[in-house]
Amino acid sequence: MKNAYAITNQTISQKEYVVCMKLDEDRNPVGVHICDVKKAILNHIYVGRVERIAPAIKAAFVRFGQNQICFLPLSEAKSPFYVHKNSKKEELCAGDEILIQITREALKEKEPAASCHLSLHGKYMVLTTKNKSFSISSRIQGARRMELENLLKQTVEEKPYGIVIRTLAASVSDDDIAQDYQMLHEQFESIMSKYAHRALYDTVWAEAPDYINFLKNQFEFGSDNIVTDSPEILNQLKEHAPVLAKESQLYTDQCVSLSVLYHIRGHLDDLLSNKIWLKSGSNIIIEQLETLTFIDVNTAKSNIKKSSPYSVNLEAMKAALRQIALRNISGMILIDFINMTEAENADLIELLKQETRKYPNPCRFIDITKLGLVELTRKKISRSVKDIINNS
């Protein structure tokens, strides 16, 4: 049976979200992406006006909407695309109208971050104006690396952008690569042809809804399929990812909803709960705080005489890593396991290191603290599920 991506609209805390959940053949979630489509600005390209330059922090503040200001590092403002130059000075000045691309959403009290270097993301490559070079992922080696160089290097020479070939390009056909490049090239040409004539605060380029980018990066042809109960979502797939739309079907059963069929509501409730019960009867408590995440392992209803501390910890470790990935938790993570012998601790840490490599964005083991807590870190790529729900 194929893995399924179930995409549906869900109301959470009285707000509407699009939920894209990847489920295995037993309908257990192995990936989830939640987005508020109406508020999405990440990777969008706007005409913004420089409000002020802050030399002390080597940054500018740019207004890209009536009530929206972003933070622009001056290192990201070299050779901007000007819509209107307010000063005869070559450097960026207050009042200049420029193209900016949002590179990071607002975080708590911090404004969104932006860049004047434009990046367009395909499935197999990234087009960027930050440099004009052609590069290939270091994970692609040997004959395939040479084939990709021969296929595209000359094509992008003398273009006003560079191309970065992603690792996924190693296992697909040249036709797929060429199609991906052509799509990005046409998107770039479209932006260049119209930006100079756009009004202040206009959206020059709106990237596909975030859940579509999630699909592009995760979907495996031949082993996955996509199902949605929303004609609007299916139309968005047809517009932004026609190849994925061909792998999609519209769910129309009026007797059993898509959410009930795939237990989506229940899975979401689990992701938003701080207590996760394990098969042994033990549980883990997950507390996401502002500065760190604390995970506590409890024996609870488990029979510790039948289930050794090591076996409970092993089960809890796998569950904790799975929840970290599903909830998209990042930053510092502390896990308080049940006390074990020093040898068992060492064995568990080695297994933890192996287990976390199964995930696209793995945790990194740092140390065992003086209080016996296992310290991990995980790179922040996007907002956690909790942050999306609490701050939308």
Beta-carbon contacts of 139 under 8 Å, excluding residues fewer than 6 positions away, are: 167, 170
Handedness of CA 81, 85, 88, 89 (dihedral sign): negative
Going by the DSSP 8-state scheme, the letter that residue 370 receives in this structure is T
More confident residue, 96 or 220: 96
CA-based torsion, 44, 45, 47, 52: positive or negative: positive
The CB density around residue 345, as the number of other CB atoms within 10 Å, is 17
CA distance 241 to 221: 13
DSSP-derived secondary structure letter, 43: T
Q: What is the pLDDT of residues 122-171, one digit of tens each?
A: 889 999 999 999 999 998 999 999 999 999 888 888 899 999 999 989 98
pLDDT at 304: 59
pLDDT by residue (tens digit) across 310-340?
A: 999 999 999 999 999 999 999 999 999 999 9
Sign of torsion, CA 72 75 76 80? positive
Better-scored residue on pLDDT, 95 or 157: 95
| Residues 240-273 pLDDT 10s | 888 889 999 999 999 999 999 999 999 999 999 9
pLDDT band at 49 (very low <50, low <70, confident <90, very high): very high
CB-CB contact of 382 with 328 (8 Å): yes
Q: Which token pair is 253?
A: 């059963």
Detail the DSSP E strand segments found in 116-251.
Answer: 119-121, 125-128, 134-136, 162-165, 203-205, 224-228, 248-250
- pLDDT tier for residue 37 given thresholds of 50, 70 and 90: low
pLDDT (0 to 100) of residue 303: 63
24: its two tokens: 């295995």
Rounded Cα distance, 63 and 216, in Å: 31
User: Other C-beta atoms within 10 Å of 234: how many?
Assistant: 19
The answer to whether 134 and 163 have CB atoms below 8 angstroms apart is yes
Please list, residue by residue across 92-108, b when 16 or more beta carbons sit within 10 angstroms of its beta carbon and e when fewer do. beeebbbbbbbbbbbee
Total-model pTM: 0.68
Q: What is the pLDDT of residue 183?
A: 85
Q: CB of 165 within 8 A of CB of 135? A: yes
Residues 252 and 256: their CA atoms lie apart, in Å, by 9
CA contacts within 13 A on the Cβ side of 238 = 9
Distance CA 327, CA 345 (A): 26
Question: What mean pLDDT is predicted for residues 367-374?
Answer: 94
Tell how far CA 213 is from the center of its chain.
Answer: 8
Contact 148, 129 (CB under 8 A): no
- pLDDT at position 305 is 59
Distance CA 299, CA 243 (A): 48
- Tell me, what's the pLDDT at 85? 95
Q: From edge to edge, which strands make up the β-sheet containing 134-136?
A: 119-121, 125-128, 162-165, 134-136
DSSP assignment, residue 1? Answer: -
- What whole-number distance in Å separates Cα of residue 261 and Cα of residue 377? 36
Angle at 327 between CA 228 and CA 206, to 5 degrees: 55
pLDDT at 307: 67
pLDDT of 69 higher than 60: yes
- 342 vs 106, 143, 298, 351, 384, CA distance in Å? 43, 47, 19, 14, 33
* Average pLDDT score, the chain: 92
pLDDT digits (tens, 9 = 90+) for 268-306: 999 999 999 999 899 999 999 989 999 999 987 766 556
pLDDT at 1 over 60: no
Place of tokens 């197999």: 124
Cα 232 to Cα 3, 17, 18, 240, 265: the distances in Å are: 22, 13, 11, 12, 20
- By percentage, how much of the chain surpasses pLDDT 90? 73
Domains of the chain are: 3-40+209-263 (3.30.420.60), 45-115 (2.40.50.140), 119-205 (no CATH), 273-390 (3.40.630)
pLDDT of 206 > 90? The answer is no
Beta bridge partners of 5: 22, 226
Percent of the chain with pLDDT over 70: 97
Q: How far is 330 from 345, CA to CA, in rounded Å? A: 23
